[in-house]
Amino acid sequence: MDIEKIRSDFPILERKVYGRPLIYLDNTATSQTPRRVVDEVVSMYYNAKANVHRGVHTLSQEATEAQEATREMIRAWIGAESVEEVIFTRGTTEAINLAASSYGQLMENGDEIILTVMEHHSNIVPWQLLGMRKRIMLRVVPINKVGELDLEAYRSLFNDRTRLVAVCHVSNVLGTVNPIKEMVAEAHSRGVPVLVDGAQAVPHMRVDMRDLDADFYAFSAHKMYGPTGVGILYGKKHLLKMMPPYQGGGEMIDHVSFEGTTFADLPYKFEAGTPDYVDIAAFRRAIEYIQGVGMDDIAAHEEDLLRYATERMLAEIPGIEIYGMAPYKSAVISFNIPGAHHYDVGMLLDKQGVAVRTGHHCAQPLMHALGIEGCVRASFAVYNTLAEVDAFITALSRAAAMLT
Ligand code: PLP
């Protein structure tokens, strides 16, 4: 992997912050965007800005083709059987809200959903909102000391009212890669479908729906070198067919009259209104980018960064506490330094050009389970280097010395 070439594809990495070279370690929140994705956005605005699926004119057809080319590319990339199973949303959050709102209508008072304690708020609150409309009970899988799900507890939470499992593939705080295939098999053996929040998996590892056998899988483009405002809900066709529409409006109908409306076929049934077709077109370039570098190489590189950074942090920052030490873990390091507030650590790192995230990371129930209010999180992407890890450790040591 030619890391210098990769870095040169991301213009933002030339930026300075407080006069220091930017070291961007907030990739879990959003990753940076290579030139070819931005170029595609510009090209769409300059050459093919016309509403999709509605026009016979050339521009509209080109915009439609660009959007549908992305859909087909994603279908192939995640191993979906058909483009009917690939729904465009605004992101992971909207994808899960769509599932909760629509699939949730098929649930009944007294039904239960199994979640885990490590979920992002976007895989908790939509189910709670559903619970405000129907009496739905949420059952929560706990974690062990290293941040892995307690699979024994998971198995024990099923009963004859369990209607869904909703679980993240990779924790955005702990980095734990959950054994999704095994969890899906367990749920399916009891006839229960599984929704997977893949926001933190898809940028870092190969995911294949044929292998995982998940019933729903949600992710966001902006976390995988793509544009903002686009996400995907993959859903198995037989489930999507059973589900009522999520929102009403243009694009999602077959025929409308005041007496009643019939709906469009999949996937359009779930895509009301003008989609973000410009960014959807650009999303394809992000996948091409990942494919060009190679997902296996990206994963191996990030694994090196994770191992190196973890070892140095444990060795050189006295008393540091790292949350999540699962053997199978993605390149995310959440931590606290005793006596130093996470917010102050983040501020002092920023002053040295290092961008990390601080706070609860949209995972307050997990913070509660860990017995903390918040923490600092450094997370890596393909363009980060070992030299950046060195600079990060130097900056962190300085911050720790000042604060403790
Ligand atoms: N799920 C996980 C695990 C995440 O890390 C995030 C974002 O950080 C989300 C869901 C929400 O993604 P988005 O804000 O793109 O909808």
DSSP for 227-251 reads: -TT-EEEEE-HHHHHHSPPSS-SSS
Task: Name the burial class of residue 255, with classes exposed (0-12), middle (13-18) and buried (19+) by CB atoms within 10 angstroms of its CB.
Answer: exposed
One digit per residue, pLDDT tens: the chain, 404 residues? 899 999 999 999 999 999 999 999 999 999 999 999 999 999 999 999 999 987 899 999 999 999 999 999 999 999 999 999 999 999 999 999 999 999 999 999 999 999 999 999 999 999 999 999 999 999 999 999 999 999 999 999 999 999 999 999 999 999 999 999 999 999 999 999 999 999 999 999 999 999 999 999 999 999 999 999 999 999 999 999 999 999 999 999 999 999 999 999 999 999 999 999 999 999 999 999 999 999 999 999 999 999 999 999 999 999 999 999 999 999 999 999 999 999 999 999 999 999 999 999 999 999 999 999 999 999 999 999 999 999 999 999 999 999 99
Q: Residues for the chain: how many in total?
A: 404
Catalytic positions: 362
Q: Write down the pTM of the prediction.
A: 0.98
- Distance (Å) from CA 121 to ligand 1 centroid: 8
The CB of 361 under 6 Å from ligand 1? The reply is: no
Is the shortest distance between the CB of 197 and ligand 1 below 6 Å? yes
Closest CA to 161 of 183, 143, 135, 181: 135
Cβ of 193 below 6 Å from ligand 1 = no
Q: Which structure tokens are listed for 110? A: 């007294």
CA of 196 relative to ligand 1 center, distance in Å: 12
Residue 324, Ramachandran bin (φ over 0: left; ψ between -120 and 50: alpha; else beta): left
Atom of ligand 1 nearest to the CA of 168: 3
Q: DSSP letter for 265, please.
A: P
Q: Which domains does the chain have, with CATH numbers?
A: 3-31+294-403 (3.90.1150.10), 38-291 (3.40.640.10)
| Cβ of residue 172 lying under 6 Å from some atom of ligand 1 | yes
Cα 248 to middle of ligand 1, angstroms = 25
